[in-house]
Amino acid sequence: MKRKYFGTDGIRGKVGDSPITADFFLKLGWAAGQVFSKEGHNFVLVGKDTRISGYMFESALEAGLTAAGVDTHLLGPMPTPAVAYLTRTLRASAGIVISASHNPYYDNGVKFFSVQGTKLPDDIEKKIEHYIDAPMTTVDSSILGKAKRIGDAAGRYIEFCKASIPTRLDFSGMTIVVDCAHGATYHIAPHVLRELGADIIVIGAEPNGLNINEGCGATKPDKLVASVLENKADFGIALDGDGDRLVMVDHKGEVVDGDELIYIIAKSRQDLGQMSGPVVGTLMTNLGMEYGLKNLGIELLRANVGDRYVLEMMSAHKGILGGENSGHIICLDRTTTGDGIIAALQVMAEMHDSGHTLNELKSGMQKYPQVLVNVKTAKKMTSEADALIQKAVKVVEDKLGDKGRVLLRASGTEPLIRVMVEGEDAKVVENYAQQLAEEVKKAIGA
């Protein structure tokens, strides 16, 4: 059964456009309340990032939950992984995050977590969708839900982050620039790092509701690069608006992406005798990471793009580590979902214990040049066009051999076909990618 409102990572869109409206969030809160009250639970956590529309949607969700007879515990601005953790430890029936992650301020959305701190199962999302389309009612006034604010939420999560590495570790002597993307980690990440002894320079920690992810954070690390070089810092940490992505910058100003960070954590776990199962990446995971892990004797499995699919494959194969090159990194031996702060601490722990710089640690794997070309299409793919494209792909694959990859996939959010070519030689990869993009255009008549 196809879901009507929920995508692979909750519900997301432009504020004011359906379904990202106050009336929809009111109904969504009520629908979620109907489902969770029938499951025998009685309170839900609600957190948000720093975008201005969060006030409106927080109030709407609270009203809907109240009408369904469910109590709401409000967390205020809180990273997405913090809500997952608090949902689990406070034994809430569910956690709700109002966020559009790395998107600009004029977008917003909502994500749900189960009592286990994981994404909601499909069957629960389908039950919520059923009630969204049902007439809204209100419970008797004597059993209406109540709302209260949780005052110590930030402190609880800060301690949880610190506990994800051994207590013997002290980062005194490390100079770090941290970019909070003017998002939900602005009052969390600096405290975690300072309390662990690091000297930190903070940027992107002055949210005004309109500047979340604007020219900063994990998706735009240029300011972080400049600050690391200017301050002669040991490295930099960039988080995104809701704190579930991580990108780092080494002392030379080179960006270290999710694939390289996963490799570093995997090698660290293996050196400590703590590695278990395969590493799970995605179809977009760099071939260099696959070969780097292979040299360590660690298998890489590829899931569809999206942390939901990565987590499903990790669970199925009993893996403890996985993620995406975009910086979603899941350390299942530490927490239940992607967490930028916790992932950064695992890398820092390896730097501390090994005595190596971030630049030295990432050198264990060599990234292959990867070129992505988007081809716009307004037409459905015919079998004839598909046959022509597959023929062209086969030609390139034969030329690359085992030293490269070709991937064509339709975008899940835009009318695009994404053409990706990866190989040892940057110029060759660029030429093949452009050639294939032209073949795709010819085949679909674009």
Instruction: List residues with catalytic annotation.
Output: 101
Which phi and psi (to 5°) does residue 317 adopt?
A: -110, 10
Burial of 232 (0-12, 13-18, 19+ CB in 10 A): exposed
| Nearest-angstrom CA–CA distance, 119 and 9 | 8
Catalogue the long-range contacts made by 150-155 (C-beta closer than 8 Å, 24 or more residues apart): 150/45, 150/73, 150/74, 150/75, 150/86, 150/90, 153/47, 153/75, 153/76, 153/78, 153/82, 153/86, 154/78, 154/82, 154/187, 154/188, 154/191
Strands (E), 49-155: 71-77, 94-98, 107-113, 147-149
Residue pair 72/124 in contact (Cβ under 8 Å)? The answer is no
Q: Which residues contact 413 (CB under 8 A, 6 or more apart)?
A: none
Q: Which of 387, 358, 131, 405 minimizes the C-alpha distance to 261?
A: 358
Residue pair 113/55 in contact (Cβ under 8 Å)? The answer is no
Instruction: Report the DSSP beta bridge partners of residue 295.
Output: none
User: What element of type H or E holds 56?
Assistant: helix 54-67
Q: How far is CA 124 from CA 21, 100, 110, 231, 290, in A?
A: 22, 21, 15, 49, 35
Break the chain down into helix, strand, coil percent, rounded to 5.
40, 20, 40
| Nearest-angstrom CA–CA distance, 104 and 100 | 8
Q: Which of 270, 258, 255, 185 minimizes the C-alpha distance to 224?
A: 255
